[in-house]
Structures are given as C-alpha cells and as structure tokens.
Amino acid sequence: MKCVTVFICTVMMMCFCCMNVSADDLSEISAKSAIVIDGETGDVLFEKNAYERRPMASTTKIMSVLLVLESGEDLDKQFVVDSEAIKVEGSSMGLQDGDKVTLRDLCCGMLLPSGNDAANAAAVRVAGSIGKFVQLMNKKAEQLELNDTHFVTPSGLDDDTDEHYSTAADMAKLAAEAMKNEDFRAICHLEKVELCYGNPPYDRWLINSNKLLKSCEGIVGVKTGFTDKARRCLVSACDRKNKELICVTLNAPDDWNDHSKLYDYCFDFVSKQKLPLDKSSFDVAVVGGVSDSVKCKVGHASAVLLNGRAYKVKTKIYLPRFVYAPVKSGDKIGLALFYYNDVEIARTDITAVEDAMLAEPEKPDIFHYYLDKLKKLFA
C-alpha cells in the first residue's frame, strides 16, 4: 500500500512539473473574482469567487455592442449623433456635436478605445433613449440567464445606486454568446481600425486598449474596463489547440498577467478526444433488395474537450426506418450528432459498409397468366 501511495505521489509531482504554470502560481492571481470557461461547452476550468456580484466597468459594453449588432438596424448607414448622449465623462472615441457616424463605427468605438460617448450614442439610435436601451440590456440578460447581472448604463460607468453589477461567471457566459456573432468577433479582434466619421467625416484611427492581443498567444478579443469602483476588469478569449477558452477577471490589479497565467494553466487540460458511440454498426431494412437489410457504420468523430471528459458526451443517432435498393457501400444513410452539456460539438455521417443489390423482377408464369384470363372470360 505504501509503495502505491509513493507511486501516485510521484506521478502527481511529475504532472505538475510538466505544466507551464503550477497550481501554486495560481494562488498569486491578483483578481478578486476570476473564471475560465470552455467557450463552446461552458465547462468551468478555474474559478475564484466567480459568483460574487461586482461592478464590471466597461466590460458592460460587450452587452451594448451585442444588442446593436442584433438590432436589425443598418450598421453602415450614416446618421447624426444625439448631441446630449455624447456629453459623458471618461473614455471616448472623440464624438462631437453634429458628427456623422454609423452604428458599425460606434461598435468599434465601444470595443477598441472603450468610448462612453459611443455607447450612449448607439443606445439612443437603437432604442430612442438611454433608459429604453438599458431595459433591452436587462431583458437580454434575463434571456441569457445571467441571473446575477443588472445594468444601469450602456457604458459601464459607476452609478450611485450600486445596481450596476455582474459576476465573473455571468460575464464569461455573456462573452461566449457575443463571440458567436461574426461582426462582434471581427471587431473585438482588431488591434486598430481606420474609420471615417465627423462633421464633415474624415479618416482617423482607433486603437484597441486590449494589450493581450499583442502579448498573449492566441488572444482573439474581447474587452477591457476600469472605473474607480470596479477597478481593473478584463474579459478575454483565447484560441489554442483548436479550442477557445474565455477568461474574466474583476478587480484585478495585475490583469494582463492573470490572464496569461490562467490560459497557460487551463490549456493543459485540453486535448482532442475520440468521441464515444452508442454502437459501432447498425442494420437498416432494405426495400426491393436481394437482402432484407444493409449494414451501416458511424464515421470517425472527435472533438477538442477537457482531458477525460469524452465519457460525458451524449450521442444521438438518426436513421431511417428503411431504405430503397440499390444501396452502394459508402452511401450516406443517416447522421450521428454528439452533444456535451446539451451543446452540439461534432457530427458525422452514418454510411453503408456493403452493397444492397436491387432484386430482379420475377419472370412471368405463362400457364397461370392464361388461366387467369380464362377465369375472367367465363366468369
């Protein structure tokens, strides 16, 4: 028994030595709240006070941009910004009274330089007023089951009521949803962008405040934030090993290093695994064939999952009750879908592995043919 214990301890020590970041290093994470999730399945890889409500500063704009992109408005139609909406403190994309912009410009202004003026201008354009837009934000939060999130402003500026809050877990879920939107994904990944707006419009550059885009391998977004009350907040997404993880830190003095350490640590748990199957082969009935059935098999399927999690994958098999002959080996017969946490992660065809030949028509029986004719004649 003692030998087994020593062996297990040795293996565990070797595993930790192989990691880029050890569990001890994670105790130095500066964030008051943090979480890392699998962006596709929602699996939690790391969390620290992830369900505590905190102000989230300008990471709020993830929701604001998502609502603008989903509004159905023409993103590239120019309009004049609301002169009152742009009178707001804090970070800005430089909007002035009478400026002509597009909603796409404002989305860039929110996600790159974190413009509070852009957030307010977009809110008025989409909903008619900032108050009505905030109602849409909270309605969307309810739809996404962000149960510990409440918005008061579209920009994330601190409010006097302490009613503008979220959690690291909710912000990770929101970011995962936002990254499904191709326009959102494209904008938040930009290190800089040249836009033409103003009165009259002229070309200018906006720079992304997310330094991780340059300093951390695989970063594809998402949003920075800071206020005196919330302190430094950061939501990021990272793609390595064909897997996307999302990290959120709230009130994190050393957020850039926090995210880099957490990604190095958590990607050690990711691998490509062969997916389990309910059956390796199936028999499907054949109509009009020499044989009554044809053998089929599920094609190879694998997905990038957390190590050892393939057993949690559920398989749904879709096959017809029968097929018509002829069937050739390799013909698609059905479909196998693979789900993890009720999210589809892979699919593969179910194909025939043998031929099912068409049955030859029976030769006519001349004697009985004429006998039937005579019976009808004398009837």
| Catalytic residue annotation | 58, 61, 114
Cβ-contact 107, 75 below 8 angstroms: yes
d(CA 41, CA 198): 42
3-state secondary structure 12-58: HHHHHHHCCCCHHHHCCCCCCEEEEEECCCCCEEEEECCCCCECCHH
Q: How many Cβ atoms from other residues are within 10 Å of residue 131's Cβ?
A: 11
d(CA 158, CA 23): 34
Strand order, beta sheet including 314-318: 314-318, 332-340, 343-352, 293-298, 281-287, 322-324
Chain-centroid distance of CA 220 in Å reads: 12
d(CA 338, CA 299): 12
d(CA 137, CA 152): 9
